[in-house]
């Protein structure tokens, strides 16, 4: 492997200019030596060229590109798995390979099979929007966000250093974590909320639309996420998500039974327990939350 490099002197190739790849390119603009990108969508390519998002962009995966220090895979999870199979055909040298996939176990396992000259490390920025294209990319998308980094046993100190530099450069906070723990935790904090949000949108009567307020919109927002992206996530983190769904269904049944029995005292206790978990475990700013609630009440009034 080559000597350690700074992010400022590095040449980076981003494969996939969606929301994450596009936002990463914008966040790195002027902060590294060169940024190149590959995306199969001609409209994305034209948009990137017109807006100067990267220094070079192409639709051709196998097109000759400059010798890069880091290759970033910024596509849906199953596409990342496919790209890892073909990565050896599009690059020469000893690049660090970082992915931005929302699940890690399958990706890290596939990374482990890369030829020795590749230096892989898994990654997952905990940020985003329900609109997933480059047309909604933002340079500040990663600001203040947790950015999980999941090194392999074979990951070098060089790759760890460059990945961490990248995370800090875009304003995120690195969290070093193993792939199994990542997938178990993110099933609860991201993937289960998506299913609940989607189900809420599905069961809400369309005739109730005039009474939709900020509370519903914030609860159902994730239902608008990319189906392809979420389908890949559900498939590659299936067991952890199923476990979360079962826990949620058990607790929802408890609430349903308490409401049906008119045991409002115990129902209140259960709701207070949930609220306490929200305020303490989730480290929510209670004063800010109360201000948001008061604003919502005024809007609804």
Same-domain check for residues 209 and 167: no
**CA distance linking residue 275 with residue 259, whole number of Å:** 17
In a domain, 1, yes or no: no
Q: Range of 214's domain?
A: 182-300
Q: Is the dihedral of CA 171, 177, 193, 248 positive or negative?
A: negative
Give the DSSP letter string of the chain: -PPP--GGG-EEEEE--SHHHHHHHHHHTTTSSEEEEE-S-HHHHHHHHHTT-SSEEES-TTS-----SEEEE-S-HHHHHHHHHHGGGS--S--EEEE--S--HHHHHHHTTS-TT-EEEEEEES---S--SGGG--TTTTTT-EEEEEE-TT--HHHHHHHHHHHHHTT-EEEE--HHHHHHHHIIIIIHHHHHHHHHHHHS-GGGGGG--HHHHHHHGGGGS-HHHHHHHHHHTHHHHHHHHHHHHHHHHHHHHHHHTT-HHHHHHHHHHHHHHHHHTTT--HHHHHHHHHHHHHHH-
The proportion of the chain whose per-residue pLDDT surpasses 90, expressed as a percent, equals 77
Give me the mean pLDDT over the 272-293 stretch. 70
The verdict on 111 and 190 lying in the same domain is no
More confident residue, 172 or 67: 172
Query: Where among 135, 162, 177 does a domain terminate?
Result: 177
Domain count, the chain: 2
Shared domain for 127 and 29, answered yes or no, is: yes
Give backbone dihedrals phi and psi of 50, rounded to 5 degrees, phi first: -65, -30
| Domain endpoint, select from 177, 192, 227 | 177
Instruction: Give the per-residue pLDDT at 274.
Output: 94
Residues 189 and 128 in one domain: no
CATH number for the domain spanning 163: value is 3.40.50.720
pLDDT mean across residues, the chain:
89
Position 2 in a domain:
no
Residues 17 and 135 in one domain: yes
161 occurs within a structural domain:
yes
Give yes or no: residues 189 and 40 share one domain: no
Residue 9 has pLDDT above 80, yes or no: yes
Same domain, 194 and 264: yes
Same domain (yes/no): 64, 42: yes
172 within domain boundaries:
yes
pLDDT value, residue 297: 36
- 144 and 195 both lie in a single domain: no
Q: Where a domain ends, among 177, 211, 243?
A: 177
Residues 23-73 have pLDDT tens digits of 999 999 999 999 999 999 999 999 999 988 999 888 876 655 657 899 999
């Amino acid at each position: 492997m080559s000597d350690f490099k700074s992010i400022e002197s590095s040449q980076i190739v981003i494969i996939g200019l969606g929301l994450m790849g596009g936002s990463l390119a914008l966040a790195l603009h002027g902060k590294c030596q060169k940024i190149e990108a590959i995306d199969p969508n001609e409209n994305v390519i034209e948009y990137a060229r017109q807006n100067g998002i990267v220094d070079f962009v192409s639709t051709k995966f196998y097109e000759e590109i400059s010798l890069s220090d880091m290759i970033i895979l910024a596509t849906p999870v199953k596409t990342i798995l496919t790209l890892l199979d073909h990565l050896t055909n599009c690059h020469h040298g000893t690049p660090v390979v970082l992915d931005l996939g929302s699940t890690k176990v399958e990706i890290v396992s596939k990374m482990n099979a890369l030829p020795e000259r590749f230096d892989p490390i898994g990654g997952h920025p905990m940020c985003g929007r329900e609109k997933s294209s480059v047309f909604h990319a933002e340079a500040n998308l990663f600001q203040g966000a947790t950015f999980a980094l999941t090194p392999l046993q074979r990951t070098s100190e060089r790759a760890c250093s460059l990945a961490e530099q990248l995370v800090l450069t875009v304003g995120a906070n690195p969290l070093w974590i193993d792939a199994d723990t990542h997938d178990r935790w993110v099933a609860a904090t991201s993937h289960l909320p998506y299913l609940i949000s989607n189900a809420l949108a599905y069961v809400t009567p369309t005739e109730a639309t005039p009474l939709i307020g900020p509370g519903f919109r914030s609860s159902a927002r994730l239902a608008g996420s990319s189906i392809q992206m979420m389908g890949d996530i559900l498939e590659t983190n299936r067991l952890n998500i199923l476990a979360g769904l079962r826990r949620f269904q058990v607790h929802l049944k408890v609430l349903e039974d308490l409401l049906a029995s008119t045991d409002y005292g115990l129902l209140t206790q259960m709701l207070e327990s949930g609220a306490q978990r929200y305020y303490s475990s989730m480290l929510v700013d209670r004063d800010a939350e109360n201000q948001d609630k008061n604003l919502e009440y005024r809007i609804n009034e």
